[in-house]
Amino acid sequence: MHTAAALIASLLPLLAVAAAQVQPLPAQPAATVTVYRCTSATSKVSLQDAPCAAGQAQQARQMQRPMDAPARPAPPLPVPPAAARAVPPARDVVYLAPPRPLYECVTPDGARYTSDDGRGNPRWVPLWTLGYPAVRPHSVVGDNIGHPDRRMHPPHRDVNWPVATGGGTWIRDDCTMLPPREACARLRDRRSALRTRFFNAQEKERDALRTEERALNARLDNDCGGR
């Protein structure tokens, strides 16, 4: 018995300190509130939450206590910049034509020029220059005099006797395709020659030179990666 009383006595100071530290919970406001409507002797009306003063007409009414509006929802988080950059920007699509070949052609006398289609300039040549045999007639007067054996043989074909018979044909100069780098260099040389001619040309010729230079610039941009 004495031990229990001593234990309780030792715990009393601790309980007193704990009780002092415990704060009461705030009282919850009533759901309704009383509003007093007061009318003075001069007919002045006022509304208040306390009873009217002496000498004033009083009307009391129970009303719902105003409540705070609910908290507004948090605004949506902004889109991070990385997500905005995830969509690739629209780009203009440029279609390039395949590079056009350029050919170098050689004339019979060794002169060189360029061609866009690989067909050299045409020229007329006699057939005998291409190795076609020509007929040499043996009906010349006196040809068989003193040669009785020739009268027994008919005329023969001599392939080594180049007799011009008037026949001929059209042939073209030989052309070979240039490498891409050399083709671009030739196109730039052609444009430089056009610009040199432009200064001494008449106005009518200058219009044609401008058109040709625009075509060369477009081809250089497409085939050679720039001017």
Summarised one tens digit per residue, pLDDT across range 170-186 is 999 999 999 999 999 99
Q: What letter represents residue 225's amino acid?
A: G
- 190, 169: one domain: no
d(C-alpha 185, C-alpha 224), whole Å: 9
Domain carrying residue 40: 34-61
- 221, 173: one domain: no
- 174, 224: one domain: no
64 phi/psi in degrees, rounded to 5? -70, 130
d(C-alpha 200, C-alpha 191), whole Å: 15
In a domain, 195, yes or no: yes
- Exposure string over 119-147, b if 16+ CB within 10 A, otherwise e: ebeeeeeeebeeeeebeeeeeeeeeeeee
In a domain, 66, yes or no: no
Summarised one tens digit per residue, pLDDT across range 130-165 is 777 655 544 444 444 444 444 444 444 444 444 444
168 phi/psi in degrees, rounded to 5? -165, -175
The structural domain count of the chain equals 3
In a domain, 118, yes or no: yes
Q: Per-residue pLDDT for 129 more than 80?
A: no
- 200, 171: one domain: no
- 40, 53: one domain: yes
d(C-alpha 65, C-alpha 29), whole Å: 9
Q: Give the residue-averaged pLDDT of 40-49.
A: 82
pLDDT at site 67? 76
- 106, 168: one domain: yes
In a domain, 12, yes or no: no
Q: Which residues contact 85 (CB under 8 A, 6 or more apart)?
A: none
User: Is the pTM here over 0.75, yes or no?
Assistant: no
In percent, how much of the chain has pLDDT > 90?
32
Q: Give the residue-averaged pLDDT of 77-98.
A: 69
**Average pLDDT taken over every residue of the chain:** 76
- 166, 203: one domain: no
